[in-house]
Amino acid sequence: MLFRKKCPLCGYWTIFRVTTRFYRAREKCTYCGGEKSVPWNRKVQADMDEKEKYLTEMETVCLELRCLKEPGDHVRLPFSSV
């Protein structure tokens, strides 16, 4: 599963890859390779889906978000509250 978010290690907005195993997931930044283990359940997945919908809506305001299409793509945005 792929999704967009800001990487806390490199500071760029990029594509993250999530792999799940039982009740744990690993989020991996496809730009810098930073990884984090997180608990996994339906609420976490729903939160990720909701954030992705929000970012899709934000593409009309912040055109840089449209550049995040393939793993490894990264941008620095003028805001960081999302």
- pLDDT score for 68: 94
- pLDDT score for 78: 74
- pLDDT score for 22: 86
8 Å CB contact between 23 and 39:
yes
* Terminal C-alpha separation, the chain: 20
Q: Structure pTM?
A: 0.84
Question: Which of the residues in the chain have pLDDT under 70?
Answer: 79-82
